[in-house]
Every structure is written in C-alpha cells, then in structure tokens.
Amino acid sequence: MKPSFALRVLFALTAMSFVAGMPARAAEPLKTVEAGQLTYGVAATFAPFEFSKDGALAGFDIDLINAIAKQMKLTPDAQNMQFSGLIPALQGGRIDIINSAMYMTAARGAQVDFVPYLRVGDRVIVQASNPAGITGRDDSICGKNLAVTLGGIEETYARADAQRCTAAGHSAPNIMTLPDAQNSALSLRQGRADAIYNSTPGTVQLLAEVPNVYKAVGPEFEQTTTIGIAVGKGNASMAEAVKDALAKVVAQGTYQQLIEKWKLPASVSIFDGQKTAAHTE
C-alpha cells in the first residue's frame, strides 16, 4: 500500500533535513545584564555630554542613549560612577555598555570594542587673568601645574607633553590627576592648577556657565579624536545592536537635533547626511 500524500511529504522533508543538516535556529535574543534593560556606565561629570542637573542625569549622551535604547526596545538604566571604574565595570559584567563620552584610544581598544558616534578636539583652559602666562599646548605648559581627569584622554595628552618638555630640556609639567572634569576646573579656579585640558564642547559649556572666570588659549588640538560607546571585547551581538539602533537614530534626524540642542559644533558629526543611513567608517 502506498503511503498517503501527507506521509510522502513528511518523508521528503525528513530526507532534506539530513542532507542540509540541522535546521537553522532562530537568532537568540540580545543578552543584557538585566532583562529588558540596557544597563550603562557613565561618569556624569563631563558637561555637556553627561552631568547631574536637579538630581537627574542630563546631557547629549544621556539623550542619545535614551533614543538608542528606545530603538533597541530596552529601558535605559544608568550606573553613575567614577570614570576610571567604567572599563572594569564592563569587563566585570556589571554593565552592558559604557556611555560616557569615552575617547577611542589604542589602549582602550585593546580592552573594549567601540561603536563611534562623535569626533571632537580639545582646548587648553586657564584662569581669565592667566597668571602663569600659558599660551596653549606648547612650551609654556612646561613646568606648570596641569590638572586632568584620571584615566581620561587628557591625561594621555598631558603625559605626552611631559615627555616632550623634558626631551627639549625643560621641566615637565606637574600633572594633577583628579576624579573628574569638575574637580579639574575647580582646581584651576582656586589657583592650585595653572591650566586644564578639556574637550572643545566641554570648554564651550564651561565658559558659558561660569563667565569671566576662565578662558581658552591657543588653538584647538587633537581635532580628530573619536568618541564611542564601548561594549565588551568581542561582544559582536551587542555592538551590532547598538550600531543598528544608532543608524536609525541618525536616519530619523534625532542625532542632528541633539547636536543642535546641546550647542555642539557641527564638526562633531561623523555621519555624512544626518537623515540618511548611518555609517561608522
């Protein structure tokens, strides 16, 4: 007796499965520290990117991650901590990503993977009266007290300048490493530091918030420094999810709106065409 049509179909499908191997499984859902949440580390002391205002977090990065999390269908959950603790927290599995205006450097790239989203430069800031006579990131910084954020890219710049000064036969600057940019600015205001290094957007924010106290000297430097959202080393699924969500935020025009809202210079954008598909070459 011939098998029924339904049985013949079943036999054929079974044979195909043996030839082609096991059927492909559906893609696994994105794994996060807490189900349904995007837990991110942030050092909220770096205006206008991230800072505390009236007991809540504010800034470009905070608005951007809210938009990204919405595209990922996750609820953003901020873990505010010192900047130097961000990478250890990510490596320890306590957070999903770092969203804290983190400058992409080779040293950090060896520890985490990045999804880039901004490009910025830096400025030298002094007191308005500039008693130390500093003229920029040049020999005038040699032998002076220079305050920078511990573990920040500005510390890297300062240590490179110390080597440059000594190589030229000058005294190295005294590098004061402080917990955050706010403490660096305070040390300058109190006269404990002669100068600080700060991002160009951060400099604009500082000069606007505290007029007639500080001023920027010398030209902008390191204008090609790229900022990225950090994900765990080798965590391709998280990197792709963040990248795809960011592309949608850019395509919708939200990215450009946030640049304008936080009064960042147009040069910070790394995308060609704000309302077209994003890319991050």
Query: Can you give the pLDDT of all 281 residues of the chain as single tens digits?
Result: 444 444 443 434 343 333 333 343 334 579 999 999 999 999 998 889 999 999 999 999 999 999 999 999 999 999 999 998 999 999 999 999 999 999 998 999 999 999 999 999 899 999 999 999 999 999 999 999 999 988 888 899 999 999 999 999 999 999 999 988 889 999 999 999 999 999 888 888 899 889 999 999 999 898 888 999 999 999 999 999 999 999 999 999 999 999 999 988 888 999 975 443 333 33
Q: How is residue 7 written in tokens?
A: 């049985």
Q: What is the pLDDT of residue 273?
A: 54
Please report, as a single letter, which amino acid is at residue 2: K
Q: What is the pLDDT of residue 5?
A: 41
Which residues, other chains included, contact 12 with Cβ-Cβ below 8 Å and sequence gap of 6+? none
Q: What is the pLDDT of residue 227?
A: 95
Could you tell me the domains of the chain? 37-120+226-268 (3.40.190.10), 121-224 (3.40.190.10)
Respond yes or no on whether the N-terminal peptide bond of residue 48 is cis (omega within 30° of 0). Answer: yes
Q: What is the pLDDT of residue 24?
A: 39
Q: What is the pLDDT of residue 200?
A: 87
d(CA 204, CA 122) in angstroms, rounded, equals 11
Cα-Cα-Cα-Cα dihedral sign, residues 228, 197, 254, 273:
negative
- Give the predicted TM-score (pTM) of the model: 0.70
